[in-house]
């Protein structure tokens, strides 16, 4: 989690990068690459005779194997293998069990990091990601013959703050000093723009194995201005494999296959998919339920299968264009990035959508790492080019009733600083809870919680008199700092971080490596806080209703509601439980609703 809480006025410590070598890393869902730029040329590092390192980790006798070795183990049926871990970097994004059907998951709540057993070991996505990054670091050193520890790492444009935080942490654990996390489509545009000296508005269409990103960039005289960005962090070529596998199951009567066979079928689906970029009809043999099978699929059927997938893509494209206030015709060219853009139906769809062929002259696998390497060079040695980035998701605060007040809307250019004034809602209120959230929805419950802290020492004043200034500061790195100060006293107030909320990197590290105990407490505390705030809100409402009823001339006191309110009011934050808060809030709410009818 990349939320730094600090006292107002305290200077942020900026590390100045030395003019040492720095690399660009494309940390992909299915494979990773490392590239370096020497000021003129960019090259992809060859690791074990290949530019591509599978993002796969296997556990062999308590030792981690990474990359090709792990992939080979996976092929040979080794059980303790983890792949596609990038899909799990955001604890708020669910559906991992679909993404990785064979992993042994432990049950976990939304908002917690995924946990899984590899062998006898308990592990998590950050640890696995760190193993991949450690391996890349070791190999980089071997190839370049010197130690390199600075890197620009790419992430999907639509990665949330939490997923970015998790990526940073993984890099730190692997010994990398992260110069910057940049978006994958942006990295591609940098490579494209610098190499080809292009000007104008370009849409980067980045469809990888597990993520889908769309970014619109304005390229002008070596300025790379990100105009808008959008996407889906759980959509990619893997979904196409699933679609084909589901179709094969249905057509060949394989609905009842077990987990291992399921995995084999997915591999066959992937193979058929790849064949269909070259041929009209793809075929493959397999052995299922004791029988040899011959699988066949033709291009037209494949295109039909992809229809729902393509309409999802169309919807996202429309959304991004709309948020940039642009139309299809404003886009000069559509650039293809990511291995899954090799799919012919996707290319055909884009040609139809934009009315012209998408540009396929970028190397879909290499371009992101190359762009990252160029940016790494620029950040360590200075450069004539300039990248102007935006925040991908809106940042806001929780206000009364669980409603989100957006402070910095998505697609705002960064760095950005916005100060907003808030006030107290109760007489003599001396504290205020500040809950920072990320997302586009109106209700806190539908957004992602980034952290919570409280401002204390507000002078006792009538409701609405205190002036609390909350400042959101997003630096060029996309890192968010939130500070709050009370103005009427003229003095700055220190901010207190609530214990049990993993807000700093150190805390997060502890959270990750202490067997997740603190994470559980964290979640509980958060859930409890939520329930408490909600109950207080409902209580206030009910008290108002009771008061209003008393004041009516025919005033019959509502004794049933009064009793319920009294009961609920006895509950204290310290001694009540989350369930109790929830129960009373629900009962009061239901009573209130039925009363209205």
Partner 1 sequence: MSEEIHNPFTLFSLPHSLPVDQQVLKKRYFELQRDSHPDQRKDSEAQSISSSLINKYYVELRKVSNAARYLLELHEVDVNSAQQDPEMLMEIMDLEERFSDGSAEDVLRDLDQKIFDNINILNTLIQSNKEQKIDQEKASKTWQKLRFIDQLKERYT
- Residue 276 phi/psi, 5-degree rounding, is -70, -10
Closest CA to 451 of 395, 502, 521: 502
Catalytic residue among 26, 90, 241, 477: 26
> Is 79 a known active-site residue?
no
Contact 22, 179 (CB under 8 A): yes
Tell me whether residue 419 or residue 428 sits nearer to partner 1 (CB atom). 419
Q: Which of residues 423-482 bind partner 1 (CB under 8 A)?
A: 473, 475-476
Write down the least CB distance from residue 232 to partner 1, Å: 24
Q: Which of residues 328-357 bind partner 1 (CB under 8 A)?
A: none
Tell me whether residue 94 or residue 412 sits nearer to partner 1 (CB atom). 412
Write down the least CB distance from residue 387 to partner 1, Å: 7
- Per rule CB under 8 A, is residue 416 in the interface with partner 1? yes
Tell me whether residue 51 or residue 225 sits nearer to partner 1 (CB atom). 225
Q: What does the angle CA 65 – CA 159 – CA 25 come to, to the nearest 5 degrees? A: 45
Residue from 417, 428, 517, 577 in contact with partner 1 (CB under 8 A): 417
Residue from 122, 386, 400, 445 in contact with partner 1 (CB under 8 A): 386
Rounded Cα distance between 477 and 387, Å, is 11
Q: Which of residues 77-96 bind partner 1 (CB under 8 A)?
A: none
- Per rule CB under 8 A, is residue 415 in the interface with partner 1? yes
Supply 93's token pair: 């994004």
> Is 487 a known active-site residue?
no
3-state secondary structure of 54: strand
Supply 120's token pair: 């006898």
- Per rule CB under 8 A, is residue 70 in the interface with partner 1? no
Tell me whether residue 119 or residue 413 sits nearer to partner 1 (CB atom). 413
- Terminal-residue alpha carbon distance, the chain: 44
- Per rule CB under 8 A, is residue 548 in the interface with partner 1? no
Tell me whether residue 229 or residue 424 sits nearer to partner 1 (CB atom). 229
Rounded Cα distance between 374 and 326, Å, is 29
Give me the residue label for tokens 């409890």: 528
H/E/C letters for each residue in 525-570?
A: HHHHHHHHHHHHHHHHHHHHHHHHHHHCCCCCCCHHHHHHHHHHHH
Catalytic residue among 127, 161, 206, 270: 206
Catalytic residue among 21, 71, 86, 534: 86
Site size toward partner 1, by CB under 8 A: 22
Residue from 82, 379, 444, 542 in contact with partner 1 (CB under 8 A): 379
Supply 534's token pair: 């909600």
Tell me whether residue 220 or residue 300 sits nearer to partner 1 (CB atom). 220
Give the binding range for partner 1 (CB under 8 A) out of 351-359, 365-373, 408-416, 561-569.
408-416
Q: In what order do the strands lie in the sheet with 200-207?
A: 333-337, 200-207, 212-220, 223-232, 386-388
Regarding beta strands 121-123 and 177-183, do their DSSP bridges make them parallel or antiparallel, or are they unpaired?
unpaired
Tell me whether residue 223 or residue 267 sits nearer to partner 1 (CB atom). 223
Residue from 413, 459, 496, 569 in contact with partner 1 (CB under 8 A): 413
Rounded Cα distance between 236 and 84, Å, is 11
- Per rule CB under 8 A, is residue 201 in the interface with partner 1? no
- Per rule CB under 8 A, is residue 182 in the interface with partner 1? no
> Is 26 a known active-site residue?
yes
The contact mask relative to partner 1 for 212-231 (x = CB under 8 A, - = no) is --------xx-x-x------
3-state secondary structure of 393: coil
**Partner residues linked to 419 by β-bridges:** 471
Q: How many CB atoms lie within 10 A of CB 323?
A: 17
- Per rule CB under 8 A, is residue 378 in the interface with partner 1? yes
Please enumerate, as own/partner, the contacts of 10-18 that have beta carbons within 8 Å and a separation of 24 or more: 12/475, 12/481, 15/177, 17/150, 17/177, 17/179, 17/379, 17/380, 18/150, 18/380
Residue from 19, 41, 325, 575 in contact with partner 1 (CB under 8 A): 325
3-state secondary structure of 39: coil
Write down the least CB distance from residue 389 to partner 1, Å: 10
Catalytic residue among 184, 241, 247, 477: 184
- Per rule CB under 8 A, is residue 8 in the interface with partner 1? no
Give the binding range for partner 1 (CB under 8 A) out of 40-48, 195-203, 236-244, 413-421.
413-421
> Is 332 a known active-site residue?
no
- Per rule CB under 8 A, is residue 41 in the interface with partner 1? no
Rounded Cα distance between 101 and 37, Å, is 39
User: What DSSP element (H or E) covers 249?
Assistant: helix 237-251
Tell me whether residue 12 or residue 279 sits nearer to partner 1 (CB atom). 12
- Name the site residues for partner 1 (rule: CB under 8 A): 16, 220-221, 223, 225, 325, 378-379, 382, 386-388, 412-418, 473, 475-476
Q: Which residues are catalytic?
A: 26, 86, 184, 206
């Amino acid at each position: 989690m990349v939320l730094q809480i600090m006292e107002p006025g305290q200077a942020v410590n900026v590390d100045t990068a030395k003019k040492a070598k720095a690399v660009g890393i494309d940390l992909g869902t299915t494979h990773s690459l490392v590239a370096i730029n020497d000021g003129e040329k960019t090259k992809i590092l060859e690791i074990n005779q290949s530019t591509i390192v599978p993002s796969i980790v296997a556990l062999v006798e308590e030792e981690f194997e990474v990359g090709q070795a792990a992939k080979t183990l996976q092929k040979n049926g080794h059980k303790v293998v983890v792949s596609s871990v990038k899909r799990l970097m955001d604890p708020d994004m669910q559906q991992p069990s679909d993404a990785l059907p064979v992993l042994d998951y432990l049950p976990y709540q939304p908002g917690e990091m995924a946990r899984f057993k590899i062998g006898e070991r308990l592990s998590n996505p950050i640890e696995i990601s760190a193993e991949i990054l450690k391996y890349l670091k070791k190999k980089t050193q071997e190839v370049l013959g010197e130690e390199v520890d600075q890197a620009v790492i790419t992430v999907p444009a639509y990665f949330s703050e939490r997923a970015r935080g998790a990526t940073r942490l993984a890099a730190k654990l692997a010994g990398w000093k992260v110069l910057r996390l940049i978006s994958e489509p942006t990295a591609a545009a940098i490579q494209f723009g610098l190499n080809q000296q292009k000007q104008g508005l370009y849409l980067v269409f980045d469809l990888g194995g597990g993520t889908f990103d769309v970014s619109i960039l304005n390229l002008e005289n070596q300025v790379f201005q990100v105009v808008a960005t959008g996407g889906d962090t759980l959509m990619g070529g893997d979904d196409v494999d699933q679609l084909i596998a589901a179709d094969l199951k249905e057509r060949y009567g394989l609905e009842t296959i077990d987990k291992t066979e399921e995995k084999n079928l997915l591999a066959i689906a992937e193979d058929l998919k790849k064949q269909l970029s070259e041929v009209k009809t793809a075929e493959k043999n397999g052995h299922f339920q004791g029988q040899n099978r011959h699988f066949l699929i033709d291009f037209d059927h494949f295109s039909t299968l992809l229809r729902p997938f393509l309409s999802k893509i169309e919807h996202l494209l429309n959304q991004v264009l709309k948020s940039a206030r642009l139309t299809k015709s404003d886009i000069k060219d559509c650039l293809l990035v990511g291995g899954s853009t090799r799919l012919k139906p996707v290319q055909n769809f884009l040609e139809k959508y934009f009315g012209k062929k998408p540009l396929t002259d970028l190397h879909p696998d290499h371009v992101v790492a190359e762009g990252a390497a160029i940016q790494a060079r620029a950040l360590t040695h200075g450069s004539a080019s300039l990248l102007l980035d935006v925040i991908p998701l809106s940042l806001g605060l929780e206000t009364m009733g669980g409603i989100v007040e957006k402070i910095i809307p998505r697609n705002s250019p960064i760095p950005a600083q916005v100060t907003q004034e808030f006030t107290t809602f109760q007489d003599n209120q001396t504290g205020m809870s500040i809950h920072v959230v990320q997302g586009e929805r109106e209700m806190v419950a539908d957004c992602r919680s980034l952290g919570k802290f409280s401002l204390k020492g507000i002078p006792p004043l009538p409701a609405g008199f205190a002036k609390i200034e909350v400042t959101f500061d997003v630096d060029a790195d996309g890192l968010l700092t939130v500070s709050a100060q009370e103005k009427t006293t003229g003095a700055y107030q220190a901010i207190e971080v609530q214990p049990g909320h993993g807000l700093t990197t150190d805390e997060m590290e502890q959270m990750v490596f202490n067997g997740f105990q603190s994470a559980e407490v964290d979640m509980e505390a958060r859930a409890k806080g939520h329930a408490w705030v909600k109950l207080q809100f409902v209580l206030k409402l009910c008290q108002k209703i009771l008061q209003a009823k008393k004041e009516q001339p025919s005033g019959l006191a509502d004794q049933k509601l009064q009793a319920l309110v009294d009961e609920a009011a006895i509950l204290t934050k310290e001694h009540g439980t989350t369930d109790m808060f929830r129960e009373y809030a629900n009962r009061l709410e239901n009573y209130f609703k039925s009363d209205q009818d």
